[in-house]
Structures are given as structure tokens and as C-alpha cells.
Amino acid sequence: MEILKVFGLFVLTAVAEIVGCYLPYLWLRQGRSIWLLLPAALSLALFAWLLSLHPQAAGRVYAAYGGVYIGVALIWLWAVDSIRPTLTDWVGVAVCLLGMAIILFGPRGAGS
């Protein structure tokens, strides 16, 4: 059950980060309203707060989070940008998620 909580928290964190970066993209590249920067800033603040909820060392959390972020980014690409990821995209995500699992759940020595 703990694994599902961690994974779910990482997914929420990734969505917050992506939204926080996507909204300024819409303003800068697609001429949308500058007011998009306000929810973008709030989303990035939420992203930082969500990362702080993990009890492990920050660097390890950031490294493990990266694997989930890549997967969520591909789902965003498909759902929001209407670009279907390729087989190699999904294989890359699988490799990243395996790496994330090794980092996050691997055995630790004393004081690590």
C-alpha cells in the first residue's frame, strides 16, 4: 500500500509541475493571456510542496520522481497535445520507472 501512496504522490507532483510549465508555454508561444502565469505559479508552488511530503532524502526523492514525471509527461503529450507516444517512448518510460524503483526502494546502509 505504501508503494501506491508514493506513486500516487509522484503522479500528482508531476501533474502540478507540468501544469506549472505548460501555462507559461501557452502564454509565451501561443499568445494566450498573461493571467495564465498566476495559476502557473500556484501550480509550481504546489509541486514544491508535494515534493516536500516525502520522508526520504530530497535528492533521492527528486531522482526517483524523475521516472514518474517522464511517464506522466508522455500521457500529457497524448491527452493534451494529441500526439501519440511511440513504442520506443513507452520502452523508455519503462526503463525510467525501473530505475526509479531501484533508487526509491533499494536497500540502504546505515545513515543513508
Give the residue carrying C-alpha cell 532524502: 57
Chain segment 32-58, per-residue pLDDT in tens: 999 999 999 999 999 999 988 877 767
Q: Report pLDDT for 41.
A: 98
Look up cell 530505475; give the residue.
99
Q: What share of the chain is helix, strand, coil (3-state, %, to 5)?
A: 80, 0, 20
Query: Residue 60: is its pLDDT beyond 90?
Result: no
| Cβ proximity of 42 and 85 under 8 Å | no
pLDDT at site 64: 80
Query: Whole-prediction pTM value?
Result: 0.83
Look at residue 105 in the predicted model and tell me its pLDDT: 79
